[in-house]
């Protein structure tokens, strides 16, 4: 298996293997307690995280492995100006696998090109968060017994929420669902994601009212407004608190609705909802540990190193200001021809896409 940078890096066989391994681990964790004995995982977290970092760490420890890493790059040589790639190369000499979270889009992809060991994207800016997607799909599949034919509402900050972009992209593989994308117009799903959904024939509606669709939903995926991605607090405050899921809304929802949330939640789910049996976000967070155990064990067992791809457009550059190539300027540009446009391999923006 290759480094996990995007859910769509997985073949169907690999995804089904991870799903069934996570189920086995959840059922009898003791059978897997020494599987990764002697192995070291580096968790390189350039951006704050509790759940994802703890979940990776406990996953490795429950497989019998050990951990090194940081959660504050200012306490490392990064603060002295060390490049992402130098840090990656050094850490690769000490560890067997890397989980990286970074505020800049495409950083884990860049690391994967230079690391001789597997790299897992633990969230890159507003771009992707594939291990959260594994968690979400595993949870939905367990609760609903299927990943098709569902009415799925996704509500909140659909512009900046990388869990949303990751999940929508992954669902292009599972046809027959109906998506209700519920957000303030200023926080709508980015154009580049909508274009991908259109090309894949995914059915979706962009709406602003949760009341309008809640009664139809099988799954409701709530998200917080991502304060750290706003240019100023004033801009954040203008949009924060747009949506709150409370018992009045839950009362009109289906009896078997599954309310999910990648967490942390702020004020988008009223406290009273936590005790409703349809509130499944704490189960979802626990599932994240089991699917990460399955991922780590599989990558350590069958890793295929990345090959540096060719730049298909030597005269073009990526214009996305949030792309890692704009921050670590020594990185080679890697533009590839997609079906209808040319894309940056790091951040997936169209090369002429200036948004």
* Contact pick of 202, 263, 293, 335 for ligand NCD (by CB under 6 A): 263
Assess 150 for contact with ligand NCD (CB under 6 A).
no
Assess 284 for contact with ligand NCD (CB under 6 A).
no
Stretch that binds ligand NCD, among 4-12, 17-25, 65-73, 222-230 (CB under 6 A): 222-230
Assess 51 for contact with ligand NCD (CB under 6 A).
yes
Identify whether the C-beta of residue 132 lies closer than 8 Å to the C-beta of residue 166. Answer: yes
Assess 224 for contact with ligand NCD (CB under 6 A).
yes
Task: Report the residue number, 129 or 169, with the smaller CB distance to ligand NCD.
Answer: 129
- Shortest reach from residue 194's CB to ligand NCD, in Å: 20
Q: What residues have CB less than 8 Å from 71, skipping those under 6 apart?
A: 43, 45, 48, 49, 53
* Contact pick of 3, 132, 133, 351 for ligand NCD (by CB under 6 A): 132
Assess 351 for contact with ligand NCD (CB under 6 A).
no
Task: Report the residue number, 132 or 306, with the smaller CB distance to ligand NCD.
Answer: 132
**Percentages helix, strand, coil for the chain, rounded to the nearest 5?**
40, 15, 40
Neighbours of 226 (CB within 10 A): 18
CA distance readout (Å), 191 to 89, 133, 153: 35, 20, 18
| CA dihedral of residues 195, 200, 201, 207 (deg, nearest 10) | -40
- Shortest reach from residue 226's CB to ligand NCD, in Å: 6
Stretch that binds ligand NCD, among 32-40, 48-56, 296-304, 334-342 (CB under 6 A): 48-56
Assess 322 for contact with ligand NCD (CB under 6 A).
no
Residues 158-187 that bind ligand NCD (CB under 6 A): 162-163
* Contact pick of 3, 52, 177, 284 for ligand NCD (by CB under 6 A): 52
CA distance readout (Å), 158 to 188, 256, 341: 5, 24, 23
Task: Report the residue number, 104 or 113, with the smaller CB distance to ligand NCD.
Answer: 104
Rounded distance, CA 48 to CA 50, Å?
7
Rounded distance, CA 125 to CA 200, Å?
24
Assess 129 for contact with ligand NCD (CB under 6 A).
yes
CA distance readout (Å), 194 to 13, 98, 160, 178, 338: 27, 31, 14, 14, 15
**Residues in the site for ligand NCD, rule: CB under 6 A?**
49, 51-52, 123, 129, 132, 162-163, 223-224, 226, 262-263
């Amino acid at each position: 298996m290759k480094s996990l940078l995007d859910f769509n890096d997985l073949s169907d066989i690999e995804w089904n293997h991870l799903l069934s391994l996570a189920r086995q681990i959840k059922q009898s964790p003791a059978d897997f307690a020494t599987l990764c004995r002697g192995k070291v995982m580096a968790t390189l977290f350039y951006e704050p995280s509790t759940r994802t970092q703890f979940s990776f760490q406990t996953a490795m420890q429950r497989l019998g492995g050990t951990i090194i890493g940081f959660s504050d790059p200012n306490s490392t040589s990064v603060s002295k100006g060390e490049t992402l790639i130098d840090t990656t190369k050094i850490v690769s000499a000490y560890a067997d696998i890397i989980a990286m979270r970074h505020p800049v889009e495409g950083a884990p992809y860049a690391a994967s090109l230079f690391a001789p060991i597997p790299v897992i994207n633990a969230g890159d800016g507003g771009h992707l968060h594939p291990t959260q997607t594994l968690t979400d799909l595993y949870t939905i599949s367990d609760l609903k017994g299927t990943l098709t034919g569902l009415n799925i509402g996704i509500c909140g900050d659909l512009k900046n929420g990388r869990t949303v972009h990751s999940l929508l992209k992954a669902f292009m593989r599972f046809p027959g669902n109906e998506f209700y994308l519920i957000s303030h117009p200023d926080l709508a799903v980015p154009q580049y994601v909508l274009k991908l959904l259109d090309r894949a024939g995914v059915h979706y509606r962009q709406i602003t009212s949760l009341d309008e669709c809640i009664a139809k939903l099988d799954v409701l995926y709530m998200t917080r407004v991502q304060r750290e991605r706003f240019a100023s607090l004033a801009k954040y405050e203008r949009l924060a608190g747009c949506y709150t899921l409370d018992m009045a809304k839950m009362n009109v929802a289906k009896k078997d609705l599954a309310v999910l949330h990648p967490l942390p939640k702020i004020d988008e789910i009223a406290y009273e909802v936590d005790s409703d049996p349809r509130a499944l976000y704490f189960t979802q967070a626990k599932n994240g540990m089991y699917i990460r155990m399955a991922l780590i064990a599989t990558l350590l067992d069958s890793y295929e190193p990345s090959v540096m791809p060719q730049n298909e457009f030597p005269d073009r550059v990526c214009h996305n200001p949030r792309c890692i190539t704009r921050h670590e300027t020594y990185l080679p540009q890697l533009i590839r021809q997609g079906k209808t446009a040319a894309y940056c391999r790091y951040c997936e923006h169209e090369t002429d896409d200036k948004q």
